[in-house]
Structure 1
Amino acid sequence: MARILALDFGTKRTGIAVTDELQIIASGLTTVATKELIVFLKQYISEEKVELFIVGEPKQMNYEASESEVSIAKFLVNLEKAIPQIPVKRVDERFTSKMAFQTMIDSGLKKKQRKDKALIDEISATIILQSYLQNPS
């Protein structure tokens, strides 16, 4: 089997998480400057087999698309052009940043560590991926 890779897309940086080859466990991989994301993904898939990209879908409480969806839509067009062989699925990402922050508190990270926005993005990507693994519809 191949890995599944999830993205918590942001205009400045993007959190990335990945499954193991059996697609059982979601783990944070890294955070990448968004302007370098396509290059990073191309490099990653040249070294690891990836069968699916999961991209967070930010929605407002009323289920309408959030403002950041415009940037994500542009990125998805570029991703399709750059890596057409790997399909993309979207997963609702509401509350993932709050859940990531709570996870950091629950795991005992100090206040200074909890201010690391890159770490929050990586944990958010992991939560998005775990959500997909639990409900892959």
Structure 2
Amino acid sequence: MRIMAFDYGTKRIGIAVTDPLQIIATGLDTIHPIYIIDYLKKYLQTEQVERFVVGEPKQMDNTPSQSAMHVKGFVTLLKKNFPEIPVEMLDERFTSKMASAVIAQSGMGKKARQSKELVDTVSAVILLQSWMQKI
């Protein structure tokens, strides 16, 4: 079964997923929050997901950031719609900066490097890789 990670934002949610053997994390998509539950319901019709990992936004002093309340609402929505799938939070500090650095080093063109959707998806991949290394 797969593990799915989310880099939540009020405009976009970056989504990453492992392969069924949970060896490789891959960017899946970037979805507007309005469509996320329908997207997941459709995805879960064909794929089995064992766990959701959600990026927990924190400030440098380890306190919740301004977007933490939005993430809490998202986690509540996940638990309500998919009660059989556990949700785990993981510190997401620096994932966006790391994603931007990875994209810059990838050799992609300027337009691709400036894609906020790509940054969100790569952030979700980094979050998922961090979770995989932790276990």
TM over 0.5: yes
- Deviating above 2 A after TM superposition, structure 1's stretches of 4 or more consecutive aligned residues are none
What are the equivalent positions in structure 2 for 1:96-115 lying under 5 Å apart? 96-115=95-114
Q: Deviations over 1:16-41 (max 9, x none)?
A: 00000000100000101111011111
Root-mean-square deviation (CA), in Å? 0.7
Q: Percent identity?
A: 52
In the aligned structure 2, how far is the partner of 1:47 from the partner of 1:108?
A: 34
In the aligned structure 2, how far is the partner of 1:51 from the partner of 1:118?
A: 25
Aligned to 2:33: 34
In the aligned structure 2, how far is the partner of 1:79 from the partner of 1:49?
A: 15
Aligned to 1:73: 72
What are the equivalent positions in structure 2 for 1:1-137 lying under 5 Å apart? 2-136=1-135
| Mean CA deviation greater in 101-110 or 126-135 | 101-110
1:47 aligned counterpart, secondary structure: coil
Letter in 2 for 1:22: L
Q: Deviations over 1:43-99 (max 9, x none)?
A: 111110000000000110000000101011111111111110100001111000000
TM-score, scaled to structure 1 = 0.96
In the aligned structure 2, how far is the partner of 1:41 from the partner of 1:29?
A: 11
Count of residue pairs brought into register by the alignment? 135
TM-score, scaled to structure 2 = 0.98
Letter in 1 for 2:5: A
In the aligned structure 2, how far is the partner of 1:57 from the partner of 1:106?
A: 26
In the aligned structure 2, how far is the partner of 1:107 from the partner of 1:74?
A: 34
* CA apart distance, 1:12: 0.9
- Structure 2, unaligned runs of 5 or more: none
- Structure 1, unaligned runs of 5 or more: none
* CA apart distance, 1:109: 1.3
* CA apart distance, 1:113: 1.0
Letter in 2 for 1:47: T
